[in-house]
Amino acid sequence: MTASVARVTTITARSDTSFEDAVKAGVERSAKTLRNVSGAWVKDQKVELTDGVVTAWQVVLEVTFVLDD
């Protein structure tokens, strides 16, 4: 029987376009730095406003990656 161990790290990503774009950017950037990224959970979302208009979308992600043997 084989077992695996994973770790979770928190990251924040921001986009000038959308929440979806912020999530995509955060996950793709994580995968460049961390090996074996297996999933992500959107923990929090926030928008930035300028004069009542949304100007940026921000997400806090919990990124899961499996540790090497």
Residue spans per domain, the chain? 6-66
Cβ atoms < 10 Å from Cβ of 31: 14
Percent of the residues in the chain that have a pLDDT greater than 90, as a whole number: 91
d(CA 27, CA 23): 6
Q: Which tokens is 47 given?
A: 């928008």
Q: What is the model's pLDDT at position 60?
A: 98
The domain made up of 6-66 has a fold known as Dodecin subunit-like (3.30.1660)
pLDDT tens sequence across 20-52: 999 999 999 999 999 999 999 999 999 999 999
pLDDT surpasses 80 at 1: no
pLDDT surpasses 90 at 54: yes
Cβ atoms < 10 Å from Cβ of 32: 7
What's the predicted TM-score (pTM) here?
0.87
d(CA 54, CA 37): 31
